[in-house]
Amino acid sequence: MEKSRTISEIKTSFIRTQIRILSSSIAPQEGWRDFAPDTEDDLNDKVVDEVLQRLNTTLKQHNRVVYSSQAIQHVARQIESLYWESVKGEILGPSQNSTGVEIGSDLSNHSMIEKLPSQYRGDDLPPEEK
């Protein structure tokens, strides 16, 4: 693996490889007729080949629509973002992960009050003013 490639590029490459595998043509296994039920109207090879060709064409069209380049890039960026968030949590640790209170936090919640610096919590106030 190259060191200069970003996580997003690596994940994009992996996803494209998996899509190529999913998009590969479907073909019957050798001796598939031995496992098929006996009927009076056997399928001839031309019909089977035609059905498989239509199936493979539909499969490729489906995969082009569903697994577009934009969707692949979006998923790769999401994976990269999740990766960096998990690494950030491990590096900072639980005590350092949150520094202060986020915008929109409920300041009536006791756990949010504990995150405030001591000057805002009222820890330095005399007991009669608390």
Res. 27: pLDDT tops 80: yes
User: The pTM is what?
Assistant: 0.54
Residue 74 falls inside a structural domain: yes
Instruction: Give pLDDT, residue 78.
Output: 92
User: Domain span at residue 76?
Assistant: 57-92
Average pLDDT in the 58-79 region?
Answer: 91
pLDDT band for 33, please (50, 70, 90 cuts).
confident
pLDDT, tens only, 85-98: 887 776 766 555 45
Residue predicted with more confidence, 24 or 92: 24
Residue 30 falls inside a structural domain: no
- Domains in the chain: how many in total? 1
Residue 24 falls inside a structural domain: no
Instruction: Give pLDDT, residue 97.
Output: 47
Residue predicted with more confidence, 63 or 126: 63
pLDDT, tens only, 45-62: 898 899 999 999 999 999
Residue 61 falls inside a structural domain: yes
| Euclidean distance between the first and the last CA atom of the chain, given in angstroms as a whole number | 59
What is d(CA 37, CA 123) in angstroms, rounded to the nearest whole number? 82
Residue 76 burial class via C-beta count within 10 angstroms: exposed 0-12, middle 13-18, buried 19 and up: buried
Residue 66 falls inside a structural domain: yes
In this structure, what token pair is assigned to residue 88? 């950030």
